[in-house]
Amino acid sequence: MKKIFLLTAILLTALSVVKAQETASGIVESGTTGTTVLKVHLHNFMSISIKDEDTNVDLEYRTAEDYDGTGVSELKEDHLIVSSLSPFIVKVNSSTTSPISVDGVSLYDDGTSVKIKAERGTSRGMDGAMPNTVTLRFEGDNIIESDVASLNNTFNITYTGEGQGAYRDKYFGDGEPIAYTTNVIYTITSK
């Protein structure tokens, strides 16, 4: 019986020593100060969006000057909203090789029709970015390049359709407008 009490006493003493060592080596401190570790994790992210009320662009040809002059343009202020914590490129392309009518007729065959021009935005324009003017193509082109970060910076985009009679032979209607449609896709990637 004495052996059991002795073994129990030794076991309890050993557990007390182990527990005391755990407390001494852990982060828990007693006294007037306490310490913890703070880590701030910064992750890169990229996003691009179209301003909510600007999801449609309509180039309306109504007069002889629209058809035979310099064409028709529409400026969309703060159209693109771009964020990236690293240098980036914005590419623009169309979902089809040419805008097409509901009857499947292409607006142009050679892929040189609508121009898209990027410029510094009106409300949250970005310094340090290099905007370009490109021809809208299925393959796409870089329209904005930047070596600096962007957080919700905006870009004005101007869409310009051809003049000089380029669309003169593309109206096949009976008085109602004919719409040629494609999706314009903006993609952001790391530079």
> CA-CA-CA-CA torsion for 159, 171, 185, 121, nearest 10 degrees?
10
Per-residue pLDDT of 113-170, as tens digits, reads: 899 999 999 999 999 999 999 999 999 999 999 999 999 999 999 999 999 998 888 8
Which pLDDT does position 169 carry in this prediction? 87
Tokens at residue 113, please? 């029709």
Per-residue pLDDT of 35-75, as tens digits, reads: 999 999 999 999 999 998 889 999 999 999 999 999 999 99
**Nearest to 158, CA basis, from 189, 124, 131, 123:** 131
Domains and CATH numbers, the chain: 46-190 (2.60.40)
Instruction: Indicate if the pLDDT at residue 8 is higher than 80.
Output: no
Which pLDDT does position 173 carry in this prediction? 81
- Taken in order 93, 97, 99, 103, the sign of the CA dihedral is negative
Which pLDDT does position 12 carry in this prediction? 53
- Burial category of 96 from C-beta neighbours within 10 Å (exposed 0-12, middle 13-18, buried 19 and up): middle
pLDDT confidence bin for 108, thresholds 50/70/90: confident
CA distance 133 to 4: 91
Whether the CB-CB separation of 126 and 110 falls below 8 Å is answered with no
Average pLDDT of span 86-91: 97
**What does residue 83 show for φ and ψ, rounded to 5 degrees?**
-135, 135
Which pLDDT does position 170 carry in this prediction? 87
**Half-sphere exposure (CA, 13 Å, Cβ side) for 166?**
20
Per-residue pLDDT of 140-151, as tens digits, reads: 999 999 999 999
Which pLDDT does position 175 carry in this prediction? 87
> 36 CB contacts (<8 Å, ≥6 apart)?
27
SS3 68: helix
